[in-house]
Structure 1
Amino acid sequence: MPINAWFLVAMVCSLGGYGAYLVGLRRHLVQPNRASWLIWSAGTAVEAATYRALNPHAVQSWVFLLAAASCIIVTVAIWRRGAWESPSVSETACMAANLAALAIWLAFRETFWAHMMIVAVVPLGFWPTWVSVWQDRTRERSPAWGLWTIADLATLLVATHVSVAGGPARLGEYAYILTELLCHASVWFMIGLATINPLRSLGSWSGRFHVLDAYAPAANLFSIAETHLGKAVYAAAGFAEGAEIVRFTGRRFRADKVPGMLHGARDRFVQITPDHYMGPSGRIDDLINHSCEPNAGLRFDGDTVMLVAIRAIGPGEEISWDYSTTLSGSDWYMVCQCRSPDCRRVIGNFDTLPPERQAWFRVRGLVAPYLRANVPITANERAA
């Protein structure tokens, strides 16, 4: 294939990847790691600049300039869609390494070594996303990762056909392209691990391959409306008893890292172990309200937290669960305004529930594991 054709493939795939990712972001089909994108938006700009300085006449440098601009656009879109969360220790280390590379370039004007340091810390920028995908592959199920991998491969083919000076410039050129290729491909393969098939990230249906299957319109299962409590989630379609409704996702926090004095819409933390909480996801699970007479409950299966229907839920009915079913040893409480006939008025730890109500939740597996561990279920509870 002529060099100009590979260059065109690289440009189209790179731009197409960012376009597909923006579509996924808009439709809540991806859950990007904000730390990674903040690192990439700064790092890609420096990478593009240092690469162009080392290879001033290389046509492939335009691919990196386009990627840098697109990366910044995606980062701004992510920033505008939700509140920023404090970075973890590993995310902070990744950011510090990128800042160090920037400082070397700006302070010493050593373009080659600044570029090589940026190349070395590229995997650090991917680390938060690798962790996020390892926890839940659906967070990054987007055709974008496949398109970026193909773009990197096409860029590598462009570089091998373009005659440039040898020495440091050639080393810096290949090091950056290969590192980007391996990092993008690694996420692509991680997304496809469920079927040992990296093409899964591009979507499939009825055994046939469809590039944009991930974005095929599906029946809308929920609607959002305002109530006296603020936003609430309603069923747009019916759910049978025992049906899975929505998976709860969000970043894990140690109990001592959960912000205090949170109220209202900012209080979106769910206790998942005695010492850990799940933070807000920015998705629909954040908006599901409490009820003392709920129609749904949380079921824990390993690291998966799934909201399931505990009775049949009809279209137009508000979906709710009992917040006390995950709380233990917490000083959190809430004045309840659910307006159900059996409203408890104040919501607190699981042990504040009447014993018969505790048994009702426990026998159905609708409490956090640490609330049912080593507690035998009696025959009377099974009959409840």
Structure 2
Amino acid sequence: MGIDPWIMVALVANIAGYAVYLRALRRDLVEPNRASWLIWSIGTGVEAATYAAVNPRALQTIVLLVSALACILVMLGIWRRSAWASPSRSETACIVASLGALVLWLGFRDAFWAHMLVVAAVPVSFWPTWVAARADPQRERSPAWGLWTIGDLATLLVALGVAHGRSVGELAYPIVELASHAAVWGLVLWGTRRRSARALTATAIAERFRVGTNHLGKAVFANTAIREGARLFPFTGPRLRAARVPQQLLGNSDRYVQVTPDEYMGPSGRIDDLVNHSCDPNAGLRFADDGVWLVALRDIAAGEEVAWDYSTTLSESNWHMLCQCRAPECRRVIGNFAGLPPERQEWFRAKGVVAPYLRRRDDTTLPDASPSVAVGAGKASIGF
């Protein structure tokens, strides 16, 4: 009897998916969620070992063993590349629930309900990745999710072909796996489409602004006159926990904006990375429902450099930058928002260009919740 071609499709698609994902991980093109991959590593390992004991010569055993090994390699790669950070409450809940289901699965005498426990644990294990991909689809931008979805579809077709009157419960696992992988793939495609739509506005941004040089290096200048209150362009980039921000960054690498006490926005590779600091800024960052926008704090003349005050997003107490903005009001040393004079803090608050977690007066005394990293508060450095 020949091998079902759908089994071969499932095998090739799954192996190819892991190969693509591992390559992307080595090149830092993806930022996987550690909680999900920890669950998957343990879950696929237990599943592969159990299945191999019952069906040692089955082709599916090879697929499961390869998947388990690949999951473990991805997990080890993730943990090697990241600093330790405690899982969030939702991640902790997902880990406990998923691993608890696996323990019950191993101890259950009723095979059907043991199987259903694992089925229930699948969407729980995917939840941290869904949340991360929804917040920033670029974290999971990899063709691997499409390949895994195709592999799951082939597996489901195989299961349907041999079902012959079996209960729907036996098809639950491949159905849920297919839906879970497809959901991540959909989020990635949705994020790519949004990015393409944003790219359409790049022409308009290029018409209004240009990248030039000043006494510090690269800078952004207005090509046309801009009215006070106008949106200039969005600040974008991956969201990173403070513990994941690379340390000892200088020059071109110093492209991070603090957005919460323990979260930063990383470099986008676009014009927003190049906006310099000024102690007398003509622009500021406004955190809105549709993103983070640089807005004009006053009328900006054609040919004028666009700049904002880095301190308006910063609570990191151990970060300082020698300032060379040459404004008459230059503070010489740039630090966190709490270091600004009270009247200056209130002026920025009135303009609506203070990070949300710093908007209340008592928020300026937040304890330092991030590590002592030599990174800039903004997405441009004083020297290049």
Q: 2:187 aligns with which of 174, 190, 202?
A: 190
Give deviations 1:210-240, integer Å, cap 9, x for gaps: xxxxxxxxxxxxxxxxxxxxxxxx96xx855
User: Per the alignment, in what secondary structure is the counterpart of residue 180 of structure 2?
Assistant: helix
The equivalent of 1:131 in structure 2 is 131
Q: Which amino acid aligns with 1:86?
A: S
- What's the TM-score once normalised by structure 2's chain length? 0.62
Match of 2:240, SS state, is coil
Count residues with an aligned counterpart: 311
Identity of aligned residues (%): 48
Question: 1: distance between equivalents of 2:61 and 2:168?
Answer: 15
Q: Does 1:153 align with 2:153?
A: yes
Q: CA deviation at 1:127?
A: 0.6
CA contact (8 A) 2:52 2:61 kept: yes
1:65 aligns with 65
Is 1:345 the equivalent of 2:310? no
CA 186–292 in structure 1, closer or farther in 2 if over 3 Å, else same: same
* Superposition map of 1:219-368 within 5 A: 241=222, 242=232, 246-247=236-237, 249-250=239-240, 272=259, 276-280=260-264, 284=267, 298-302=285-289, 304-305=291-292, 322-327=309-314, 332=317, 334-338=319-323, 342-345=330-333, 347-349=335-337, 352=340, 366-368=353-355
**2:50 aligned residue:** 50
Taking a change above 3 Å as real, the CA distance of residues 44 and 247 of structure 1, as seen in their structure-2 partners, is same
Q: Cα distance 1:102–1:55, how it changes in 2: closer, same or farther (>3 A)?
A: same
Q: Which residue of the partner structure matches residue 376 of structure 1?
A: none
Find the residue that maps to 1:152 and give its secondary structure: helix
Residues in 1 aligned to 2:49 and 2:110: alpha-carbon distance in whole angstroms: 9
Corresponding residue for 1:10?
10
**Structure 1 unaligned residues grouped into runs of 5+:** 207-233, 252-257, 312-319, 374-384
Please state whether the residue corresponding to 1:300 is helix, strand or coil. Answer: strand
* Contact 1:3-1:158 at 8 Å conserved across structures: no
For residues 74 and 368 of structure 1, the distance between their equivalents in structure 2, rounded to whole angstroms, comes to: 35
Q: CA offset at residue 247 of structure 1?
A: 2.2
**C-alpha root-mean-square deviation of aligned residues, in Å?**
4.8
1:305/1:360 Cα in 2 relative to 1: closer, same or farther (>3 Å)?
closer
Which 5+ residue runs of structure 2 have no aligned equivalent? 200-216, 223-231, 250-254, 301-306, 361-384
Contact 1:101 1:118 in 2 (8 A): yes
Tell me the CA shift for residue 323 of structure 1.
3.4
> What is the aligned partner in structure 2 of residue 96 from structure 1?
96
Deviation at 1:23, TM superposition (A): 3.2
Q: Distance in 1 between matches of 2:184 and 2:98?
A: 20
Query: Is 1:175 equivalent to 2:172 in the alignment?
Result: yes
2: CA distance, partners of 1:289 / 1:44 = 46
Q: Partners of 2:264 and 2:235 in 1: how far apart? A: 18
Separation in structure 2 between the aligned mates of residue 6 and residue 295 of structure 1, nearest angstrom: 61
